[in-house]
Chains A and B, each alone.
Chain A
Amino acid sequence: MRRLLTLAGLLGILGLGGLAPTLAHAGATTVEMSFERGTVDVTIGDRFTLSTMVENIGAAPTEPFVAHLNVASLTNDVYVDPEDWSANRSVDLPLIPPGARTTVDWELQAVNPGTFDVYVVLLPSGATSSPGPLTVSPPVRVAVAPRQSISAGGTLPVAVAVPIILGLVAVAARLRHRRTG
């Protein structure tokens, strides 16, 4: 089910396509969304920030939106849980006056190796909002390189040797203290 949803999300992105700013009509307003960069190259575990600029290019103020971040893997063999990538994936956006813009910063951490697309969807959240077409940003392509993790062989000598040395020092200090009274 998750894969199907991911695939559906991906198809949605590809349908809206490219790095060009996305135009969408949500209710009576027109909103344009773009990222400050199109690609990110990181190593697993790295943290990075993406900024989404939301601009009202219409003639009327926007309605309230919820901006929602999503992460989709471009390969089938990587399971993605977007919550692992970012703790705060939904942000309430205030009304944006005509011609004004607002920026949303997303803090992410690359927790899977592979190639991913990160995108943002605007969901109308006002009381009178109609469930019209959603506004989807162009995706940011994130390439995550694997990293060699800590080797158990490297930590074992230290983990064993230090307590042994300190244990011997503690025993020696205790014996010396007893002997000297």
Chain B
Amino acid sequence: MTTTSEPDAEAAAPHVAATSGWRVVAEQECRDMWFSGRGPLLLFAYSLLLSVMTYLAGTNQVLNFLEQREAVSLTVQIAVAVGVLVTLVVSADSISGERERGTFENLLLSPASRRGIVLGKLLGALSLWFATFAISFPYLWALGRGVSLVGTAMAVGLAVGTILAVALACLGMLISTRSNSNRVSVAVGIFILLALFAPTQVPAGLPKAWFGDLLTRVNPIGSSLHYMSAVLVRGHSWSQDLSYLVSPALTAVLAGGLLALRAERFVTLRAERGRA
């Protein structure tokens, strides 16, 4: 997806280009995402989903049964879940997609360092997360204005969602670096995401033993959704359930650290032999 820009200028000052390579890659990724129409189209589809959810919450007697805080919490959770889903898919496409399209060689020949390429592509993928979350603001305002929960919902959604988006974007990119096929990396990314989402769909009424709580805590998505629900619905303070954010933070640190440390080895023209 990324193409090199102004090679002559960069050749004239290679050390400058190397240090700011991540910025060039990030700019190019954002241009590809937002000016090609792919990003706006994803946002349009995302807004349709939120519109249906918001309208149902306002009209359906079952969803509307309880109270606005439940509806706000549900909308924040959907905003975060779908936002990180698209971020993961875009990041899973980032390296393997370039390899498959045959455009990766150009990028590798640019003065940008391997870490710069990873960081630039990561920022490009994260721009989608921030855009999706910004779209959720009017919906949260419509649902939560009566209970003065809009500010809290936006803040907790942005904070927790950003940690989760970074974690899953790094994970998606890690998968992408190890794959030569775009289809494989995106499929593996979605499979991991679904596997992480599945436990969150266990009915809340079922009794949970210590093992159930442990599963929630180790699952970055489950623990993030639990934390947001505790703050928004149960009125817990931000620090009360902070331990639930260890899992997404740790995933971000481990996956991001691995990408940073092994960038030279992972970001290559072809994935290592024996990999997909």
Contact = CB atoms under 8 A, between A and B. Distances in A.
Interface of A: 43-47, 83, 87-88, 109, 111, 147-152, 154-163, 166-167, 169-170, 173-174, 176-177
Contact of A166 (B40, B139, B233): B40
A162 B207 contact: no
A157 B142 CA distance: 9
A150 B47 CA distance: 19
Contacts of A88: 207
Contact of B34 (A147, A159, A173): A173
A170 B64 contact: no
Interface residues of B, number: 42
Contacts of A166: 40, 43-44, 47, 135
A42 B65 CA distance: 16
Contacts of B138: 158, 161-162
Interface string B48-91: 10111011011100001111111100000000000000000000
B211 interface: no
Nearest to A172: B40
A152 B58 contact: yes
B67 A163 contact: no
Contacts of B51: 158-160, 162-163
A43 B64 CA distance: 15
A33 to B, nearest CB: 22
Given A154-B145, A156-B58, 15 more contacts: A45-B66, A47-B235, A87-B206, A111-B65, A147-B67, A149-B67, A150-B64, A152-B58, A163-B51, A173-B36, A174-B41, A176-B35, A177-B35, A177-B36, A177-B37
B58 A162 contact: no
A43 to B, nearest CB: 8
A170 B207 contact: no
A8 to B, nearest CB: 26
Interface in B166-194: none
Contacts of A109: 66
B141 A158 contact: yes
A179 B46 CA distance: 26
Nearest to A49: B234
Contacts, number: 103
Contacts of B41: 170, 174
Nearest to B140: A158
16 contacts: A44-B66, A45-B67, A45-B70, A150-B57, A151-B58, A154-B145, A155-B142, A155-B143, A158-B138, A159-B142, A163-B51, A166-B40, A169-B44, A170-B41, A173-B35, A173-B37
Contacts of A147: 67-68
B204 interface: yes
B37 A150 contact: no
Nearest to B40: A170
Contact of B55 (A46, A149, A159, A170): A159
A158 B138 CA distance: 7
B49 to A, nearest CB: 9
A149 B40 CA distance: 33
A177 B37 CA distance: 7
B212 interface: no
Nearest to B60: A152
B274 interface: no
Contact of B59 (A152, A160, A161): A152
B128 to A, nearest CB: 14
A156 B43 contact: no
A162 B139 contact: yes
Contacts of B48: 163
B40 A163 contact: no
Given A162-B138, A162-B139, A148 B146 contact: yes
B232 to A, nearest CB: 11
A145 to B, nearest CB: 11
Nearest to A146: B67
Nearest to A88: B207
A162 B50 contact: yes
Given A154-B58, A160-B51, A163-B48, A170 B66 contact: no
A119 to B, nearest CB: 21
B35 A162 contact: no
Contacts of A159: 51-52, 54-55, 58, 139, 142
